[in-house]
Chain A
Amino acid sequence: MATSFTAPKLSSPTFQTLCRNLPVFVPIPNTLYSVSRHHQRHHHRLQLQQQRQRRLLFVVRAESNNGSEPLRHYDFDLFTIGAGSGGVRASRFAANFGASVAVCELPFSTISSETTGGVGGTCVLRGCVPKKLMVYASKYSHEFDESNGFGWKYDTEPKHDWSTLMANKNAELRRLTGIYKNILGNAGVTLIEGRGKIVDPHTVDVDGKLYTARHILISVGGRPFIPDIPGSEYAIDSDAALDLPSKPEKIAIVGGGYIALEFAGIFNGLQSEVHVFIRQKKVLRGFDEEIRDFVGEQVSLRGIKFHIEESPQAIVKSADGSLSLKTNKGTIKGFSHIMFATGRRPNTKNLGLESVGVKMSSNGSIEVDEYSRTTVPSIWAVGDATDRINLTPVALMEGGALAKTIFQNEPTKPDYRAVPSAVFSQPPIGQVGLTEEQAMKDYGDIDVYTANFRPLKATLSGLPDRVFMKLIVCVKTNKVLGLHMCGDDSAEITQGYAVAIKAGLTKADFDATVGIHPTSAEEFVTMRTPTRKIRQGPESEGKMGHEAKAAAGV
């Protein structure tokens, strides 16, 4: 099946007609919908496809006018529910391609709920942006320490004023939500404030008012999830953690994923006492094992206390207002805050999805095909609501591809290969491609190059900061399969390499590139000797490609 990647059918007039004139039944080659790199989902896809064909057939009988353009008039060509990264991108691009577009979004609030959201979505209001601003703020305490080694002295230790940061951060968020609104307005997209609910395959209800649309896009994103344990009402999630009225004196963070690690760094830098509780032995499940070890070590050196293999069982509030966290190993008292970073769930409840027959998985994510189409042909979904790779740039890619597919006669699949990502822990992580473990499984014979060094800055600052870098190379093809880094500037450094890895470049190509001296990044082009050579025989040469979601681990 995977061979149909190369099949020339995608640009055929038949398919273009299909896209333009939906809903019209056209016999679709089996391969088209069953193309799947996601091996384990393959069987499921086939079922979807069969359902889809039945549905298309049904629609044709109901609405078709002998196979020509249906006569029905709609208020909009596209109605998007949710103005976050994916929704705004799809709406803008669709409008640029000439479609009439409306998007609805909940009223602005820094904390999301069933009734609050805001234009910009998670990324701008409760995710990437405020998080990164907090990372900038918190990094200064480390920079002050570093600067001491470079001759800078502070008569009194720099102190942090929480309210200044919150005020300036929120002013910036309001500015950004305004910019997003302008972007939509300038593109000619109609913005409707309110909660959108799907009534039928072509109708959306926003707080009682009905809108019809040829296509409906669901881009409602996800929300933090807190497990139901006694006292969980005292816990905060990442939404609240980004907008606390005062500095936490002592905070417990439950979870070992990227969100937990990022917030641990933020609060530690802003001079809170930070305890992280993880179920497993290590943080960042799904990441390269060596990176997991390295980042755990570096983060601990900066003063974060880890409680490994410890699961929360209850939260108790004492008379003095402080919180205790009871775990399988005991009780720790005296927390001013307990934050749960225990995963996120798609915002797909009460959207009317069940009633129109949009299929969802057990965790509530919307099932879509490779073109982001749900089981209802006029309804599409992108971003975290589909729980594919939950990253802003992926939602942007999906939104952009969707607009092209529907409104530009150019069926476009988002490409999930070599999607880079970063964890803004302190120090940060950047990665693209496969982990060593995945590469071994998929390719068998690999060479692993690593560097673990004290950067120039640390030799002067005297701090125990180190940098770890890793390249994973396929022995058979010499292609660089994966690149991982933990240390200053990892996120910035990884982006350029992601272009190289996406382009399928080889280790020889890396070696042929001259370094920029003195940088950390030059280490990636000066790795001459493999740290280890892993040989496992010929069996699993990577015909199947890989599961990108696991690679990103987020």
Chain B
Amino acid sequence: MARKMLDDGELSQTNQEESQYDFDLFVIGAGSGGVRAARFSANYRAKVGICELPFHPISSEVIGGVGGTCVIRGCVPKKILVYGATFGGEIEDARNYGWEVNEKLDFNWKKLLQKKTDEIMRLNGIYKRLLSNAGVKLLEGEGKIVGPNAVQVTQLDGTNMSYSAKHILIATGSRAHRLSIPGQELAITSDEALSLDDLPKHAVVFGGGYIAVEFASICRGLGATVDLIYRKELPLRGFDDEMREVVARNMEVRGINLHPQTNLTELIKTDNGIKVITDRGEELVADVVLFATGRLPNSKRLNLEAVGVELDKTGAVKVDEYSRTNNPSIWAVGDVTNQMNLTPVALMEGTCFAKTLFGGESSKPDYSNIPCAVFCIPPLSVVGLSEEQAIEQANGDVLVFTSSFNPMKNTISGRQEKTVMKLVVDAETDKVHGASMCGPDAPEIMQGIAVALKCGATKAQFDSTVGIHPSAAEEFVTMRSVSRRITAGGKPKTNL
């Protein structure tokens, strides 16, 4: 019907047709995916309502805020703290460049936190304005699905409001998951870590994912003692193994104590702080223990059983390629579907959803060659396949080009930290299947490389691009000799 609306432009007539519903679309959750879908649908002239929980930096079943994880408890506040923490190293580096800086620097955590909160409040306001400018009706409260076309919103004062909608979009995101070990209540998650009253003196971070390494880097950069405990041999499972080693080495050199292949068994409250006990018999005492042990979709209190929307075993809403659930009027995008939990992916899903439903153009999100970044210090950024994935998927030989170099800035600062870059190339087609980099500015550098990879650029096309000198990025277009060729057969690594 919405398509018809666009096609023949008979707006008043179709509006009447639709008047049996309060909304063409009702969105539950005003994070990245929900806001995008709501705004774009409204731009296609759909009548859109959206509900979101009241604002607070720390989320719960009943607390959220317009902007969602990305703006309030994720990308944005995290990046702000990373900026803050990066100055720690920068100031050290300045000395060999001739700058006389006090031996002991004063860092005011409360000031940074206040400014961070100001900024996310500002963004929260901008998101609200974006919605209202697009003509989307924003309702504060907890949304539940009560029928294939019915939503109930419980307001702060407990009043229930019911709305009917032709389509319902679930965009409720996810929340940090706590490990159940004795004393787990003493630990915090990333939500609280972004809003601590005081900078930790000694932080124990448990987890090997990107959130764990980012927080470890933040705390260390701001001067805390940091222990990072993870179960695998290396952090960042799923990323290129060689890059994982680089990240681990950099963290170690910057003073983070790594505890690989280690599990937490118990947390005990003591007078000196929280005693952390590992399965290797280690005991650490910390003032902050952070669990960065994964996130789970916010799907529990949506009443999805009532309408028969299927969930997978993690609680993620199952969707088809167009983000539609098994109930044809109910859709889902973003982290609640647990596909690729990244803001820009939720944006893409939201955009495609609006196009499909109201833009008259069936549109599937394309999950190939999605770049991403880990804002550890220095950061890691990747697009396409890791070396391991490329070898696994290849029919023929795989060529690996690597470059490990001392960034120019370090030649004077004296910092002992290499930047590492890698291109994974299909030997037969010459196509670049993967690019990764760990070093300063990696995420900024990788974005343009991602455009090239997305469009199937070949190594020859990389080589034919002239460098920008002197930059780190130019290494990506000057990798002349292959570091190793992995043959199709037994796929052993041979150093050429």
Contact = CB atoms under 8 A, between A and B. Distances in A.
A537 interface: no
B397 interface: no
B344 A140 contact: no
16 contacts: A140-B90, A140-B94, A143-B90, A150-B112, A152-B105, A162-B98, A460-B83, A491-B471, A492-B473, A494-B448, A496-B451, A499-B449, A499-B465, A503-B452, A509-B455, A519-B443
Contact of B112 (A123, A144, A151): A151
A515 interface: yes
Contacts of B79: 456, 518
A154 B75 contact: no
A158 interface: yes
Contact of A160 (B100, B441, B472): B100
Which A-B residue pairs are the 8 nearest by beta carbons? Answer: A496-B448, A495-B473, A521-B447, A497-B448, A165-B98, A151-B112, A496-B449, A393-B467
B492 interface: no
B468 A420 contact: yes
Given A499-B477, A502-B461, A422 B471 contact: yes
Interface residues on A, range: 35 or more
A495 B98 contact: no
Nearest to A167: B98
B181 interface: no
A346 B374 CA distance: 46
Nearest to B407: A136
A133 interface: yes
A151 B470 CA distance: 32
B300 interface: no
Contact of B457 (A168, A494, A499, A524): A499
A164 interface: yes
A376 B443 CA distance: 48
Given A394-B466, A495-B477, A513-B447, 20 more contacts: A129-B470, A136-B408, A136-B409, A137-B99, A140-B97, A144-B94, A151-B112, A156-B102, A158-B100, A160-B100, A161-B98, A163-B98, A168-B96, A169-B412, A172-B411, A392-B469, A460-B115, A494-B448, A500-B448, A516-B443
B96 A164 contact: yes
A37 to B, nearest CB: 16
- Which of B70, B448, B457: most chain A CB closer than 10 A? B448
Contacts of B275: none
A20 B461 CA distance: 28
Given A151-B107, A496-B447, A503-B452, A514 B97 contact: no
Contact of B87 (A133, A150, A159, A502): A150
Given A150-B112, A496-B448, A525-B451, A516 B470 contact: no
Contact of A419 (B101, B116, B466, B471): B466
A477 interface: no
B448 A147 contact: no
A509 to B, nearest CB: 5
Nearest to B454: A513
Classify the interface of chain B: helix, strand, loop or mixed. helix
B18 interface: no
Contacts of B342: 514, 517
A522 interface: yes
Contacts of B75: 517-518
A75 interface: no
Contact of B412 (A172, A419, A500, A503): A172
Contacts of A498: 448, 465-466, 468, 477
A520 B373 CA distance: 13
Interface stretch (B143-151, B290-298, B364-372, B388-396): B364-372
Contacts of A524: 447-448, 451
Given A133-B408, A153-B107, A516 B465 contact: no
Interface residues on B, range: 35 or more
A347 B134 CA distance: 62
Nearest to B453: A513
Interface in B78-120: 79-80, 83-84, 87, 90-91, 94, 96-102, 105-112, 115-116, 119
A154 B101 contact: yes
A160 B102 CA distance: 12
Interface string B353-397: 000000000000010011111000000010000000000000000
Nearest to A149: B115
Given A505-B455, A518-B76, A158 B94 contact: yes
Interface string B242-279: 00000000000000000000000000000000000000
Interface string B453-488: 011010001101111111111101100000000000
Nearest to B96: A168
B80 to A, nearest CB: 6
A541 interface: no
B194 interface: no
A515 B107 CA distance: 32
A415 interface: yes
